[in-house]
Amino acid sequence: MTDSDASDDIAATALVSLSKIGAKLSIEYLQQYQNKQSWYDVKRIAALKAVENIGNPAYLELVKPNASFKYNYAVRQQALSAWAACAPTDPQLIDALMKFAKDDILPVRATAIALLGKLKIARAVPMLEEISTKNGDSDIRKIASDALEQIRRVK
């Protein structure tokens, strides 16, 4: 880790903290911030976390492109969480969560499955039932079982 890596971490932490206290962070500012080069995309992830904290659907244009295989898994995870905070009923989000729950690496799959449960997406039940009983990874099976339980509590 270099000095610039440490300062990236400090700047990222400051941005997330500002979003938590209600500071006015414009879409333009967050766009510029997330596009700055940083170690392991910590600034991009921080901008997405700030959007999640803000939770305003107007910020979706910053989020959606980050839920792409173009970015590392941590960016994809944070993009999905931010998207869910801003537009939990967005059909595109639900489609993305269903896709990532089946077709990504473990951490992203876990995030997508957990969000399907948190958002109580009933159409995910058959997929989650299959994952909870047939997936080879016990952690993923447990997350899918928990998601099913959350969804079924609604009924």
Q: How far apart are alpha carbons 130 and 141 in whole angstroms?
A: 9
Determine the residue type at 144.
A
Look up the pTM and report it: 0.89
Which token pair is 80? Answer: 């999905």
Domains of the chain, each with CATH number or no CATH: 1-75 (no CATH), 88-155 (1.25.10.10)
Q: Which residues contact 130 (CB under 8 A, 6 or more apart)?
A: none
* pLDDT band for position 44 (cuts 50, 70, 90): very high
The pLDDT of residue 155: 54
The pLDDT of residue 154: 62
The pLDDT of residue 135: 86
Query: For the chain, what is the mean pLDDT?
Result: 91
Give the residue carrying structure tokens 């967005």.
90
The pLDDT of residue 7: 87
Q: How far apart are alpha carbons 82 and 80 in whole angstroms?
A: 5
Segment 85-133, tens digit of pLDDT: 999 999 999 999 999 999 889 999 999 999 999 999 999 999 999 999 9
Give the chain as a DSSP string: --HHHHHHHHHHHHHHHHHHTT----HHHHHHHHTS--GGGHHHHHHHHHHHHH--GGGHHHHGGGSSTTS-HHHHHHHHHHHHHH-TT-HHHHHHHHHHHHSS-HHHHHHHHHHHHHTT-GGGHHHHHHHHHH-S-HHHHHHHHHHHHHHHTT-
The fraction of the chain above a pLDDT of 70, given in percent, is 95
Segment 50-99, tens digit of pLDDT: 999 999 999 999 999 999 999 999 999 999 999 999 999 999 999 999 99
Q: Is 80 left (phi over 0), alpha (psi -120 to 50) or beta?
A: alpha
Which token pair is 114? Answer: 């957990």
Contact assessment for residue 151 and residue 117, using Cβ atoms and an 8 Å cutoff: yes
